[in-house]
Structure 1
Amino acid sequence: MKMHRDILVIEDDEDDRDILQEIFKDLGYRNKLVFFADSTQALAYIRRPEIEPFIIISDINMPKLGGFELRNIILEEELLSDKDIPYIFISNAQDDYSIRQANKLSIQGYIHKGTDYNKYKEKIRNLIDYWKENINTFSSRNS
């Protein structure tokens, strides 16, 4: 089932990756986590035809290829857009511009990282639980 596939996390900050690793460990999901510190490497990975992750969680502000640019590539490349991968932004940015840009890119979620571990963990749990419950509904509509 698609809901048990890998969760891709694209985050250039090592501390933020460690926090997400701990959150997912605490939440106990069966999905394998695949971390990328470099979004260009993540792009090469998801371009592989056999790769069909459950969800992509991506930071916005990254060197080389930012989250907005990565999302835009995924939308424009037929091979990638046909994979119907939910795309979620995680960011410390809460400004109107960032939120508007994210919405223009047809994202499926935007989570503010914040500084409260338990609140962040609850946001991640709500996000994953939502997609685990609804992924088949959305995928069957697009088939």
Structure 2
Amino acid sequence: MKMHRDILVIEDDEDDREILQEIFRELGYKNKIVFFADSTEALEYIRRPEVNPFIIISDINMPKLGGFELRNIILDEELLSDKDIPYIFISNAQDEASIRDANKLSIQGYIHKSADYNNYREKIKNLIDYWKDNVGSFKNKKK
């Protein structure tokens, strides 16, 4: 089932990756969590035909290829858009322009990185639980 496939996390900041690794370890999901510090490497990974992740969680501000640009590529490339992968942004940005720009990219969520570990953990848990509960519902409605 898709809900047990890999969760991709694209985050260039090492400290943020470590926090997310700890959160996912604590939450204990059966999914393999695949981390990328470089969004261009993540793009090459998801372009592989056999790769069909459960969800992508991506930072916005990254060197080489930012989160907005990555999302645009996924939407524009038929092979990638056909994979129908929920795409969630995580960011420190809370300004209206960033949120508006993110929403224009047909994302499925936007999480503000919280300085409060427990709050951040709860946001991640709610996100994953939501998609685990609803991934089949959305697929069935498309048919």
Short-chain TM bin: over 0.9
> How big is the shift at 1:137?
1.2
> How big is the shift at 1:141?
3.0
CA RMSD between the two structures? 0.7
Percent identity for Structure 1 against Structure 2: 81
Amino acid in the other structure paired with 1:125 = K
1:76 aligns with 2:76: yes
SS of the residue 1:56 aligns to? strand
2:4 is aligned to 4
Which ranges of 4 or more aligned residues in structure 1 deviate by more than 4 Å? none
> How big is the shift at 1:114?
1.8
2:101 is aligned to 101
- CA distance in 2 between partners of 1:109 and 1:81 (Å): 17
Amino acid in the other structure paired with 1:55 = I
- CA distance in 2 between partners of 1:38 and 1:87 (Å): 17
1:44 is aligned to 44
> How big is the shift at 1:126?
0.3
What are the ranges of 5 or more consecutive residues in structure 1 without an aligned counterpart?
none
- CA distance in 2 between partners of 1:9 and 1:79 (Å): 20
What are the ranges of 5 or more consecutive residues in structure 2 without an aligned counterpart?
none
Amino acid in the other structure paired with 2:50 = E
Q: Normalised by the size of structure 2, how large is the TM-score? A: 0.98
Amino acid in the other structure paired with 1:26 = E
- CA distance in 2 between partners of 1:116 and 1:28 (Å): 20
SS of the residue 2:110 aligns to? strand
1:34 is aligned to 34
